[in-house]
């Protein structure tokens, strides 16, 4: 049973470029979460999505950041016009349907390490 997949694992962008981070949830999971880990800090929640729907985006910066989870394909976290402060590790997690056994457990991918030069 494949785990949560993220790609690319490492991404380098110049200031002003766009970054696209992809996440494929664990098989059978329909809920995806994105977290950001800044250097020397813990993980901070960004957004929670289910297929074709954003459930909670209270942790997303108001500008330049967007996320989607289409009916087909992976979830995408998009950062437009990147700045040096966006350099961080971005982790995706997935979980089962609410109300099902173990649905409160989130399983994490290996992360995408974004470096903005």
Partner 1 sequence: GNSVTQMEGPVTLSEEAFLTINCTYTATGYPSLFWYVQYPGEGLQLLLKATKADDKGSNKGFEATYRKETTSFHLEKGSVQVSDSAVYFCALSGGAISGSARQLTFGSGTQLTVLP
Nearest Cα to Cα of residue 51 among 33, 71, 37, 35: 71
Angstrom distances, CA of residue 100 to CA of 28, 29, 46, 49, 104: 12, 11, 24, 17, 9
Is residue 98 a contact residue for partner 1 (CB under 8 A)?
yes
Residues 6+ apart with CB under 8 A from 90: 6, 21, 34, 35, 36, 37, 77, 111, 112, 113, 114
Among 26, 95, 114, 116, binds partner 1 (CB under 8 A): 95
- Residues 106 and 45: beta-carbon distance below 8 Å: no
Among 23, 26, 32, 48, binds partner 1 (CB under 8 A): 48
Write down the least CB distance from residue 43 to partner 1, Å: 5
Is residue 111 a contact residue for partner 1 (CB under 8 A)?
yes
Is residue 81 a contact residue for partner 1 (CB under 8 A)?
no
Is residue 11 a contact residue for partner 1 (CB under 8 A)?
no
- Residues 60 and 68: beta-carbon distance below 8 Å: no
Among 21, 35, 69, 79, binds partner 1 (CB under 8 A): 35
Is residue 36 a contact residue for partner 1 (CB under 8 A)?
no
> Which residues are at the interface with partner 1 (CB under 8 A)?
4, 6, 31, 33, 35, 41-45, 48, 55-56, 58-59, 91, 93, 95, 98-99, 103-111
């Amino acid at each position: 049973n494949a785990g949560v997949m993220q790609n690319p694992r490492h991404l380098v962008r110049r200031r002003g470029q766009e970054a696209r981070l992809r996440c494929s949830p664990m098989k059978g999971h329909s809920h995806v979460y994105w977290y950001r880990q800044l250097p020397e800090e813990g993980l901070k929640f960004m957004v929670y999505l289910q297929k074709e729907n954003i459930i909670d985006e209270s942790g997303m910066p108001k500008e330049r950041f967007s996320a989607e989870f289409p009916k087909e394909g992976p979830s995408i976290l998009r950062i437009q016009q990147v700045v040096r402060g966006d350099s961080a590790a971005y982790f995706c997690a997935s979980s089962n349907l609410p109300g099902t056994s173990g649905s409160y457990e989130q399983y994490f991918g290996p992360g995408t390490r974004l470096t903005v030069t």
